[in-house]
Amino acid sequence: KFCSRTSSQLAACPLPGRPSATPAPLGATPGAVVAMYGRVVRAGERNDEDEELDERTRFQYLAVLQFLQSKELHETLSAMERETSVRFEGGDLPVDSVLEASLDMFSRYRSGGGAAGGEVDAAARADEEELQLVERGACCTGPCTEGPSSPFSANVTAVAWASARHSELVALAATADRRLRLLGSDGEVLAEASGLTSPVLGLDVAPGAEEVLATTMGGEVLVLRVRRPAPEPDGSQTAGGASAGWALEVSQCFRDHEKHATSGRFAPADPEGEPAAADPRPPAHFLTVSRDHQARLYARTGGTDGGDFASAGAVRLGGEVTCCCWPSARTFVLAARDDHYLRYYDVESGTGGGPGEQLKTNLNVLGDSVVSFAVLAMAVSPDRRLIAACTDKSRVIVLRAFTDRQLRNLYGAVVDEYDVPSVCFSLDQSFVYATSFLPQTARRHRHGGEEAEEVAVNAMCGEVVVFELRTGEAVLRLPCHEKAVRCMSRHPCAEHLVTGSFDKTVKYWG
């Protein structure tokens, strides 16, 4: 044990093999070793608050304090601030999540030493060189002058762009009152589907913006069609600001899921290796995921030539299937709770011509089987070569598709296990957008460590964090909503975002 004494007094402390120079306590055996219990002190016992820390140690303290704050370990944070006399403020460090990023860097260094380390290193170097060649492009930097200006009567549960052209700002917005609206550039309602059996939880729009996939709280899956106004005599189309001629019609309904159908995605319309067509063909498949531990595949009866969809098989996993994406027209990826893999499936290689597992990639850098996080949202880059996986530990992992190589770990968007985050790439693939939730209030601590009352700290607690893919840094934060951002979608032809929130508003960004 250590004594809370000065250096001169320490010389008199009894040690093994040396008699005590101070009187033993009453009742103690003469010459016995006396243990003094106290705190560990710095040499010299000067006033700790007056000591000047070197920059390296101060940076290390700040990194740990930043970590504690991000995990909302406020009591531990206050205790460390008292003991170190270092107080953490939001702008003290140049980047977010310094400690976690450092540990990831160390893990990548350790993982390169295996039997296949040479091949892994070569692939990693090639990936890094490719990322460094990415030039900074365009990203959303603020609100658009267009878009809805008034809140809805219920919480917004899902949004998606339904725009067919660069200049068209038409979006879908679903609300908790079981209504689905088609909104124009000025926020007016162009068309509406009301009286649905249950609220819509997820939306996706096929290329060409003519078909809509909606997944609902009751487990139903809807396929809707967007009817647009007839072209003008000069060949131009009516802008999104006029409601005449617009319609939103339910064409198919499936009731195959036993619990909430949380999201769904259309397959890419154009096969790999072919240039994107000006008038893309209809997607041949779509996929839905649910809390019933299933992902269900649907195929178009007429292939890419058109026709209705029909069930084409299902995949059942051990946990809730949280999200899905399509890195190619024939391959989809699933993530589930209590699973440290991303699982790739081919649409027709399974038993009976249904979906079959193609490969699985480990999300743990060291290749272990520990499940320490869940992937809650995924997005595929425009060139389909990258996958962004948003986890419930405030971490977005950017991977090379069809591999377990982690190109970037992005920190700065606050996401926990109860959130419903959204993630997407910018149109030029140089940025990644991720939704984030900041606490509206916090319990402040006085200088002496006593707790004070809760105070408001973030008027706009729903935000979108913009990461630069080349550097992996959070370069911009867009304060979006007074409550959590429930959903986000990127425009298919221009650098615009649409967000929806529990504050009952929908906003356009550009």
Q: Identify the CA nearest to 416 among candidates 434, 441, 390, 393.
A: 393
Average of pLDDT values for 102-131?
65
- Local structure of 275: helix, strand or coil: coil
Three-class DSSP labels, 4-57? CCCHHHHCCCCECCECCCCCCCCCCCCCCCCCCCCCCCCCCCCCHHHCCCCHHH
The total of other beta-carbon atoms located within 10 Å of residue 116's CB is 9
Could you tell me if 428 and 466 are in contact, meaning their C-beta atoms sit under 8 angstroms apart? no
Whether the CA torsion 440, 488, 329, 276 is positive or negative: it is: negative
**Tokens linked to 224:** 């809707």
At residue 71, does pLDDT exceed 90? no
pLDDT confidence bin for 130, thresholds 50/70/90: confident
Better-predicted residue by pLDDT, 132 or 115: 132
d(CA 212, CA 455): 43
pLDDT confidence bin for 119, thresholds 50/70/90: low
Could you tell me if 398 and 408 are in contact, meaning their C-beta atoms sit under 8 angstroms apart? yes
Does the reported pTM lie above 0.85? no
Average of pLDDT values for 162-184?
95
d(CA 254, CA 256): 6
d(CA 266, CA 221): 12
pLDDT confidence bin for 43, thresholds 50/70/90: very low
Across 414-446, b (16+ Cβ under 10 Å) vs e yields: bbeeebbbbbbbbbeebbbbbbbbbebeeeebe
Mean pLDDT rounded to a whole number for the chain: 82
pLDDT confidence bin for 438, thresholds 50/70/90: confident
Residues 168, 170, 171, 177: what is their CA dihedral angle, to the nearest 10 degrees? 170
Average of pLDDT values for 253-269?
95
SS3 content of the chain, % helix, strand, coil (to 5): 15, 35, 50
CA distances from 144 to 14, 33, 148, 269, 509 (A): 74, 76, 10, 29, 5
At residue 330, does pLDDT exceed 80? yes
Could you tell me if 58 and 64 are in contact, meaning their C-beta atoms sit under 8 angstroms apart? no
Could you tell me if 498 and 489 are in contact, meaning their C-beta atoms sit under 8 angstroms apart? yes
Average of pLDDT values for 88-109?
71
Taking the chain, what is the end-to-end CA distance rounded to the nearest angstrom?
62
Average of pLDDT values for 25-30?
46
d(CA 84, CA 94): 21
Could you tell me if 12 and 22 are in contact, meaning their C-beta atoms sit under 8 angstroms apart? yes
pLDDT number for residue 17: 44
Question: Does domain 138-229+243-443+454-509 fall into CATH 2.60.120.10?
Answer: no
Chain segment 333-374, per-residue pLDDT in tens:
999 999 999 999 999 988 888 899 999 999 998 888 888 899
% the chain with pLDDT above 90: 54
Q: Which amino acid is at 93?
A: L
Could you tell me if 493 and 128 are in contact, meaning their C-beta atoms sit under 8 angstroms apart? no
d(CA 221, CA 104): 39
The DSSP code sequence of 84-140 is H-----TTSSSSS-HHHHHHHHHHHHHHTTSTTHHHHHHHHHHHHHHHHTPPP----
Domain borders along the chain are 56-87, 138-229+243-443+454-509
pLDDT number for residue 353: 84
Residue tagged 């007429």 (tokens): 302
Choose the weakest-confidence range: 274-283, 310-319, 456-465: 274-283
Residue tagged 């009976």 (tokens): 352
Chain segment 212-231, per-residue pLDDT in tens:
999 999 999 999 999 998 77
pLDDT number for residue 111: 54
**Tokens linked to 361:** 């990639």
Q: Identify the CA nearest to 466 among candidates 92, 131, 141.
A: 141
d(CA 334, CA 312): 16
Choose the weakest-confidence range: 111-120, 262-271, 369-378, 379-388: 111-120
Q: With 0-12 CB in 10 A as exposed, 13-18 as middle and 19+ as buried, what is 171?
A: buried
Three-class DSSP labels, 340-399? CEEEEEECCCCHHHCCEEEEEEECCCCCCCCCCCCEEEEEECCCCCEEEEEECCCEEEEE
Chain segment 10-19, per-residue pLDDT in tens:
444 444 444 4
Average of pLDDT values for 276-303?
86
At residue 64, does pLDDT exceed 50? yes
Could you tell me if 428 and 140 are in contact, meaning their C-beta atoms sit under 8 angstroms apart? no
Q: Identify the CA nearest to 360 among candidates 390, 403, 319, 398.
A: 403
